[in-house]
Amino acid sequence: MPEGPFSDITVIDLTHVLSGPYCTMYLAELGARVIKVEHAGHGDDTRSFPPFVDGSSAYFATVNRGKESIALEFDKSEDRELLLEMIRRADVVVENLRYATLEHLGLDYDDLRRINPRLIYAAISGFGQTGPLHERSAYDPILQAMSGMMTINGQPGSPPTKVGTSMVDYFSGMFCLAGIEAALYNRTKTGTGAKIDIGMFDAQMAVLETALMNVLNGGPAPRAIGNRHPAASPCDTFSTADRALFVIAANDDTFKRLCIAMGDPAMAEEPGFRTGADRRANDAALKERMERILRGRSAAQWESLFAQAGVPCAIVATVAEAIELPQVLDRNMIVTAGGIRMAGNPIKISSLADPPTRKPAPALDADGARIRAEFAPRK
């Protein structure tokens, strides 16, 4: 990567699979030198995850682009000493290993800050470093189940359903990134490092939005409501002449513009639809009324009309359709690294280049010899 805001930062990346690598990938995108430490022999488990492009995992490549790789065996004294020397000279260590893995090796935060008081140590784990469950391991769907997320996702009456992507891993990685950035900024004022403790369960609880608000404050019990929104109506997918269209009119003014665009301005003044509270109370009737009109034209025609009227809407697209949208292409949200296509960087900074190609993810131990020479413990 070209020069970035973290171009003077060295990160020792002890993460694997998704939440941690996602965090450290963005540190690399922002200019940091990220040295990925992998287990000798097999490396990160995701090296064997599909899909594959010319024998390389697109999964691994997507969240490990721009990094260096060295393979170590922690139970070997020479490898452990090398790692200690790397950490002594580093700015940041990020890990999402099983609980107490580093403690057993004498590499926990208290040990490491003695050799590097400026070190930012960031740990991602299922439940954080404290609390009655802190030793328990977890995966993204487990945390969706425990948090109640599965009971508010899906259609009314459907069984508990997880979100279709690993949202807890992604949120945890981004919360960790924010913590690292805050700690690095604080270090410029204090000269000392800090420990960052990210619990994936905490991250899931933090993004439950209105479901958590209602439970905490005496609101209605959260339940799966499909594509509707508990506080706005209309907010749903609607049938048109050919395919589904998502429409949101979250306030009275937008609803009036929607009705005008549909050719039924009087609907906005009817008693059952005049206010937001009226529309929420008569949501089913409102959807039926709108779909009688919307079935008269294609989704593309309605999308164009509503966009001109300032009504938020979108055709319900497939992922294959989404990646071809001019907006996605114009914003450089599909990039290439080592011949593998992947999502671009949504963090757009005027002083940071955003090229269409990125440095690829490293082969296992690709930089091992050079890193060993560079960080050889001083005699």
Domain boundary among 322, 343, 363: 322
From first to last of the 379 residues of the chain, give the pLDDT tens digit: 458 999 999 999 999 999 999 999 999 999 999 999 999 988 999 999 999 999 999 999 999 999 999 999 988 999 999 999 999 999 999 999 877 678 777 788 999 999 999 999 999 999 999 999 999 999 999 999 999 999 999 999 999 999 999 999 999 999 999 999 999 999 999 999 999 999 999 999 999 999 999 999 999 999 999 999 999 999 999 999 999 999 999 999 999 999 999 999 999 999 999 999 999 999 999 999 999 999 999 999 999 999 999 999 999 999 999 999 999 999 999 999 999 999 999 999 999 999 999 999 999 999 999 999 999 987 6
Rounded Cα–Cα distance for residues 258 and 234 (Å): 10
One domain for residues 169 and 267: no
One domain for residues 132 and 248: no
Domain span at 239: 235-322
Rounded Cα–Cα distance for residues 158 and 180 (Å): 39
One domain for residues 46 and 80: yes
In the chain, the number of structural domains is: 2
Contact 303, 245 (CB under 8 A): yes
| Residue 22, in any domain of the structure | yes
CA distances from 16 to 29, 96, 140 (A): 18, 7, 14
Task: Please report, for the domain that includes residue 309, its CATH number.
Answer: 3.30.1540.10
| Residue 166, in any domain of the structure | yes
Rounded Cα–Cα distance for residues 210 and 205 (Å): 11
One domain for residues 153 and 68: yes
One domain for residues 96 and 149: yes
| 64: exposed, middle or buried (Cβ count in 10 Å: 0-12, 13-18, 19+) | buried
Which residues are catalytic, by number?
229
One domain for residues 128 and 176: yes
